[in-house]
Amino acid sequence: MESAIATAAFAPEAVACVADAASAGVLLQHPLRREIVRQAAEPASATEIAGRLGEARQKVNYHVRALADAGFLVRAEQRRRGNLIEQRWVATARSYVLTPEVVGPLGADPRRVADELSADHLLALTARTQSDLAAVRRAAEEQGKRFSTLSLAADLRFESAEQRAAFAVALRDALAEVVARHSAPETNADGTPGTGRPYRLLLGVHPRPPENPIENNEEDSPDG
């Protein structure tokens, strides 16, 4: 006979940040672990997951325990089956981001990239954004507060290098005007921090990876 044992409700995060190298190692150590977390998008037992994946229950249960200890799975509910109690697990998030802290001092830092127009610098900036958001979110959760963000994304296409250059100039000028009109100075005249909450703005433009492997044009060339 099967019956459910009530447990506390748990709502997975949409995206969770993993900043600890040991935790990241647990997730990446074995490819089966990532598949187990994916299968646990909805509550499931190790037996159920093993059946879906065609793996031995004991093997899956071992990995489930490791993932639970590292914080990637939590107990969703318990079900009594005769004299046994079956644990059902759910992933702590729908998706995960490994922040640069995972690799410690090897993490990308835009201050170490001299060419601000390079792909290396843009990669380092996006890495810093991941670190910033993870840190701010942790602090907000600890204080029981919310914080505001804004994100914009668009796909566009340039027909020539000249068109792309004109776009860059126009975008730079428009952005400078908006920042000057709608924000306060970062520092006061005496060098002290300005009033209000500081924010960081990141704007990047990069070639979009082709959806069709044979898609290509002269704009993708180094000179384009």
Confidence of residue 79 (pLDDT cuts 50, 70, 90): confident
CATH 1.10.10.10 matches 11-97:
yes
Pairing of strands 44-45, 13-18: unpaired
Instruction: Please provide the average confidence, as pLDDT, over all residues in the chain.
Output: 89
Residue 11 is predicted with a pLDDT of 84
Q: Is the pLDDT of residue 217 over 50?
A: yes
Region 81-85 average pLDDT:
73
Backbone φ, ψ for residue 86 (5° rounding): -95, 130
Residue 69 is predicted with a pLDDT of 97
d(CA 174, CA 201): 14
State what percent of residues in the chain have pLDDT above 90: 75
pLDDT of 103-146, one tens digit each?
999 999 999 999 998 999 999 999 999 999 999 999 999 999 99
More confident residue, 146 or 224: 146
Return the ∠ at Cα 45 (arms to 41 and 50), rounded to 5°: 90
Q: How far is CA 81 from CA 3, 4, 73, 85, 86, in A?
A: 7, 9, 22, 6, 7
d(CA 90, CA 39): 9
Q: How far is CA 136 from CA 20, 139, 170, in A?
A: 16, 5, 32
Confidence of residue 86 (pLDDT cuts 50, 70, 90): confident
Read off the pTM.
Answer: 0.79
Q: Is the pLDDT of residue 82 over 90?
A: no
C-beta atoms surrounding 70 within 10 Å: 19
35 burial type by CB count under 10 A (0-12 exposed, 13-18 middle, 19+ buried) = middle
d(CA 16, CA 189): 40
Region 136-162 average pLDDT:
93
Residue 8 is predicted with a pLDDT of 53
Domain boundaries, the chain: 11-97, 99-185+194-219
> Are 131 and 150 contacting, i.e. CB atoms less than 8 angstroms apart?
no
